[in-house]
Amino acid sequence: MLRIRLTRVGAKKQPSYRIVVADVESKRDGRIVERIGFYNPRVEPLEYDVAEDRALYWLSVGAQPSDAVRRLLVKQGTMDRLARLRQGEEMAALVAEFTGEAPEVAVSTEVATTEVADLEIEMAEEIVAEVISEVIEEAAIEEEE
């Protein structure tokens, strides 16, 4: 089982932590699967950053956060977004909400292909109409001669 937890880094009596995904049985500072953020409790206000997309991914596949990491994720709003992800919202939209960017809108290739085909048909009809009018004009000029 995987756990999202803190790994201690920093000098003696000056702790700083990395937020990592690791196996439950590995040591505190042992082997990790992925590093997804950091936490510095020595500054005021607390300084922390968790990669929202990776945290949502690991939580969605069953990783359990430690108590300290859970508090950070609740403060960041990730746990609320996880509940919305489980209800069916798109992960890209949730991550875009967190970062403050506009969510990427996926354009269906069918719609894009249909629109292009419609434009090509309209252009072809215009060209055919022009050619027909030119042929009629040429025929009228030849009949007059």
pLDDT in tens, 57-116: 999 889 999 999 999 999 988 888 888 888 888 888 888 887 777 655 555 555 566 776
Dist. CA 68–CA 59, nearest whole Å: 15
* Of the options 3.40.430.10, 3.10.20.600, 3.10.20.30, 3.30.1320.10, the CATH number for the domain spanning 2-99: 3.30.1320.10
Per-residue model confidence as pLDDT tens digits over 46-66 = 899 998 889 999 998 899 999
**Average pLDDT of the chain to the nearest whole number:** 84
**What is the residue extent of each domain of the chain?**
2-99, 107-145
Q: Sort strands 64-65 and 2-9 into parallel, antiparallel or unpaired.
A: parallel
**Count of C-beta atoms within a 10 Å radius of residue 77:** 13
**Per-residue pLDDT band at 3 (split at 50, 70, 90):** very high
